[in-house]
Structure 1
């Protein structure tokens, strides 16, 4: 997700996403970026769906003690993402580490609460975000300029940073999660974490095919709807989002019915995934969009032809299965960061910055 600049940069008022600039990898054969414990650091926003997928992968792959993490404040202003201020000698680093840092592994996410009285300059360590643990920078932009003094594009998250060479390895989320899944850090992972391959070789073509249309029509589709600057473009894009949600619903219905026949209704829910009966990268890349849909995209991006919970029974079951039955999904999902960020950081979409209270509950129980 980028800093808060003009989103629609096409003549017809449609939204065009910026391509990522840093596209390197980590590998034993790489001339510079070789696997090591504690060498790499992840900079994220808990509000950003693209950063969210990297946090989930980090947790699923047992990398919480291998790759550290810093979390930007949920409020993004005209200068982009910012960290909480570092207070030398005041214990700020320890306060933020206790909640978000590598010692805790997965960021501790506050429950969704009424937001009256919370201002955009709120400084609650471990709640609104963290400091920059490595350089005590104030802004993500400072990382980009440290990596490249001549950088002149947007300052996006996630960022995979190399502490040894002090530069950005990669800022493309789809490639970062492939790096995490590749096995290059397996020798350093927590032995208590069950190893999972999110992109099994025999399923990669199916995963890539689903990822392709899900990204363009759903992950990015909600943005193309919400940031559209003409009625014609908006109506086209929002209709396209719901057409593809229906496609997902159909896929999940087939998979669910097959699981019911095979295991019975009681066990079927735990087997509900996009491909076969196993969790893959396709599920992981879809989840951050769907978990944000009812709390944010319905009202903020005008994707209001239906909610997920009311209009897509199978997608809703799939979502609740991932959220309630897998800590890597649940404990990296901050509804407070999500709702506050979108409603307070896009003044052209929501000029008054009011944050809706609903939906209640924010996600339905199993």
Structure 2
């Protein structure tokens, strides 16, 4: 995938995450501070202080939007939604349907937010971004850590503090399961879609479907990945599965099976989709525009498919 990046605070259009073997290798996120309640980190949990920058098309950012909604933090943490189509200058703020302008930092592009936080920043410009309006910096841009913060650190302000998707007795299992699904599934679809040689593509696709077959069997025995309650790992798998038939099956050539061909995984996705507030922050339009109109190397004509027609009802 050739997108842009910042080098010493200057936007560069050419950049790749491929190694010499044609394999996609995702770069690590760099902002890893924590918001805590009570304040033990320098970033205390406060209402109105923090802001999320996201894309509704991106699965990593989608996780954070889901947790913000599920915990009832809409009035506590602000939200800016970028245009689903990545421009030559990266994520862009626009008035496209379902998007917002940047009312916090008044930037045109997300890379400008990164430079405001760190003028000499070098690296990827990704969503989600958790911004601190008081210190004018990025607290964190790692989705797995952000959803943990949203789950627990803002409970005193949350509408639904009783909803705990990271319960203490299950944390070891949740963390292990997050690790287990990351490389073959969450990142696996990208390893397949952005592979530049046949062998790298085939390896990624085989690992992806071995993992999907495995969790299909697990979900034949229990409703959720860690047993009988919904946890963070379910929302992390949900955002990948939601995009599977919409984009990954077609554009990324993850086409051994469709998700709808997996009875248990398809039922699991629809059960999660029915949770209060979830469908309102799921946008098939933003998903398809992100992948089909934004990745010119994979779809140079930017033709967005009309289908598939998917019924998420139970």
Tell me the secondary structure at the aligned position of residue 234 of structure 1: helix
Preserved CA contact (<8 Å) 1:7 1:16: no
Aligned residues: 304
Which residue number in structure 2 is paired with residue 185 of structure 1?
A: 154
Q: Does 1:13 align with 2:16?
A: no
Tell me the secondary structure at the aligned position of residue 327 of structure 1: coil
Tell me the secondary structure at the aligned position of residue 70 of structure 1: strand
Tell me the secondary structure at the aligned position of residue 278 of structure 2: helix
Which residue number in structure 2 is paired with residue 267 of structure 1?
A: none
Pick the aligned partner of 1:244 from 197, 201, 211. Answer: 211
Pick the aligned partner of 1:230 from 197, 205, 212. Answer: 197
Q: Deviations over 1:109-145 (max 9, x none)?
A: xxxxxxxxxxxxxx43xx1511001122101001000
Which residue number in structure 2 is paired with residue 111 of structure 1?
A: none
Q: Does 1:328 align with 2:300?
A: no
Query: How far does residue 196 in structure 1 lie from its aligned partner after superposition?
Result: 1.0
Structure 2, unpaired ranges of 5+: 5-13
RMSD of the TM alignment (CA)?
1.6
After superposition, the Cα gap between the structure-2 partners of 1:7 and 1:243, relative to the gap in structure 1 and judged at 3 Å, is farther
Q: Deviations over 1:303-336 (max 9, x none)?
A: 00010102x110000001111x213321111000
Q: Deviations over 1:29-85 (max 9, x none)?
A: 33521111000000000000000000111111121110010000111022100101x
Q: Whose relative contact order is higher, 1 or 2, with alpha carbons under 8 Å and at least 6 apart?
A: 1
Q: Does 1:365 align with 2:313?
A: yes
Preserved CA contact (<8 Å) 2:34 2:41: no
After superposition, the Cα gap between the structure-2 partners of 1:286 and 1:356, relative to the gap in structure 1 and judged at 3 Å, is same
Preserved CA contact (<8 Å) 1:47 1:341: yes
Pick the aligned partner of 1:82 from 92, 100, 113. Answer: 92
Which residue number in structure 2 is paired with residue 161 of structure 1?
A: 131
Preserved CA contact (<8 Å) 2:2 2:17: no
Tell me the secondary structure at the aligned position of residue 32 of structure 1: coil
Pick the aligned partner of 1:23 from 16, 24, 32. Answer: 32
- With structure 1 as the length reference, what TM-score do the two structures score? 0.80
Which structure has greater helix proportion?
1
* 1:119-130 superposed matches below 5 A: 123-124=95-96, 127-130=97-100
CA distance in 2, matches of 1:232, 1:277: 38
Preserved CA contact (<8 Å) 1:2 1:156: no
For the pair shown, the structure with the greater C-alpha radius of gyration is 1
After superposition, the Cα gap between the structure-2 partners of 1:207 and 1:343, relative to the gap in structure 1 and judged at 3 Å, is same
Q: Which runs of structure 1 show a deviation greater than 3 angstroms over 4 or more consecutive aligned residues?
A: 1-8
After superposition, the Cα gap between the structure-2 partners of 1:316 and 1:31, relative to the gap in structure 1 and judged at 3 Å, is closer
Pick the aligned partner of 1:197 from 148, 160, 164. Answer: 164
- With structure 2 as the length reference, what TM-score do the two structures score? 0.93
Which residue number in structure 1 is paired with residue 121 of structure 2?
A: 151
Pick the aligned partner of 1:32 from 36, 42, 50. Answer: 42
Query: How far does residue 187 in structure 1 lie from its aligned partner after superposition?
Result: 1.5
* 1:280-299 superposed matches below 5 A: 280-299=231-250
Pick the aligned partner of 1:141 from 111, 129, 137. Answer: 111
Tell me the secondary structure at the aligned position of residue 136 of structure 1: coil
Query: How far does residue 156 in structure 1 lie from its aligned partner after superposition?
Result: 0.5
CA distance in 1, matches of 2:166, 2:278: 17
Query: How far does residue 3 in structure 1 lie from its aligned partner after superposition?
Result: 4.8
CA distance in 1, matches of 2:276, 2:305: 26
CA distance in 1, matches of 2:45, 2:161: 20
